[in-house]
Amino acid sequence: MDAVVRTVDLTRRFGTFTAVDHLDMEIGAGLIFGLLGPNGAGKSTTIRMLTGLLLPTEGKGYVLGYDIAKQAEEIRKHIGYMSQRFSLYEDLTVIENLEFYSAIYGLPKPRRRARHEEVITMAGLLGRENQLARDLSGGQKQRLALSCSIVHEPEMLFLDEPTAGVDPASRRNFWDLLYHLSAESISIIVTTHYMDEAEHCNELGFIMNGKLLAHDTPENLKAKLGSGRVLSVSASPLMKAYTVLHDAYPDHSVTLFGMNVHLQIAGEGDVDEKQVKKRLLDAGLNEVSVVRATAGLEDIFIMLTQPNGGGWQ
């Protein structure tokens, strides 16, 4: 599989602060690649360098074979970009926004009308062509923003937290559009904080403090972590169970998962189900159950990014 993105020691500093730290990464063509990490991890800075909006301090980066430091203008001809704060012109109609971005991206005039019809249909905005952008719902604005970013038929799409603050139904509709685009062989890189979205990516990269901590398919990442590293605890009252475990196991990650508590075992420790259950019963908890659980991506996210998460083993 050809790499549409390749970075070698890619680094960006702002004064004494290193936002992206010697990043080595390859992303294959035709994938939906999810870049995950906590706020301030370096995701947006990485995207801005790859799209030619920000020069690297050192290292190399290539998008579709073009050098991000020397051929930024050429890269922008072949990619679409949508940020969390993608700027629609709210005093323009749906079709006027598309006309504007068609001109910005240099879409030939003879192609525009047919292309506008294609993206409007894809985005579910038929009948709203003459509606002002400010009068659209949040999900409709999001789909219009995506339409504007692909109106010029790019080979690759960069989405920086595109679903932040959007309701679950709109997020699902948005991802249906991404699957449609991916099926048309458009390579997609998306940053997200939502683990349910990450599950639907072909590959994931976890970034923290500007460093790539892990890169693999969701299935392989969960297999590497293994089911033996997570204990799922149910007890009553739940918050007391959380407090007891948090205080008893300071070197392990303890998190709430719905009506359960997940205790992530850091490394090959001596923590087991019987020990944890006895500790909870001794503390006066009722209805105590402790079982080994299959790790999900949220477990992996916490393990990789939290100081007491145990790190990648």
Which residue, among 197, 196, 202, has the nearest Cα to 215 in the 3D structure? 202
Asked whether residue 178 falls in the same domain as residue 237, the answer is no
What range does the domain containing 92 cover? 3-216
- On the CB side of 162, CA atoms within 13 Å amount to 31
Is 254 among the domain residues? yes
- Confidence at residue 253, expressed as pLDDT on a 0 to 100 scale: 83
Q: Which of 216, 240, 270 is the last residue of a domain?
A: 216
Span of 12-21, 52-61, 193-202 with lowest mean pLDDT: 193-202
Task: Inform me whether the pLDDT recorded for 313 exceeds 60.
Answer: no
Tokens 């006066």, residue? 284
Is 25 among the domain residues? yes
Asked whether residue 184 falls in the same domain as residue 274, the answer is no
Asked whether residue 111 falls in the same domain as residue 258, the answer is no
- Tens-place pLDDT, residues 65-101: 999 999 999 999 999 999 876 678 999 999 999 999 9
- Confidence at residue 312, expressed as pLDDT on a 0 to 100 scale: 40
What CATH number corresponds to the domain at position 185? 3.40.50.300
Percent of the chain whose pLDDT exceeds 90: 68
3-class secondary-structure state, position 247: helix
- Confidence at residue 225, expressed as pLDDT on a 0 to 100 scale: 62
- Tens-place pLDDT, residues 106-152: 999 999 999 999 999 999 999 999 999 999 988 899 899 999 999 99
What CATH number corresponds to the domain at position 276? 3.30.70.100
Asked whether residue 212 falls in the same domain as residue 239, the answer is no
Q: Which of 160, 190, 216 is the last residue of a domain?
A: 216
In this prediction, residue 307 has a pLDDT band, given cuts at 50, 70 and 90, of: low
Alpha helices in the chain (DSSP H): 43-50, 72-78, 94-105, 109-122, 138-150, 168-183, 195-198, 218-225, 238-248, 273-282, 297-305
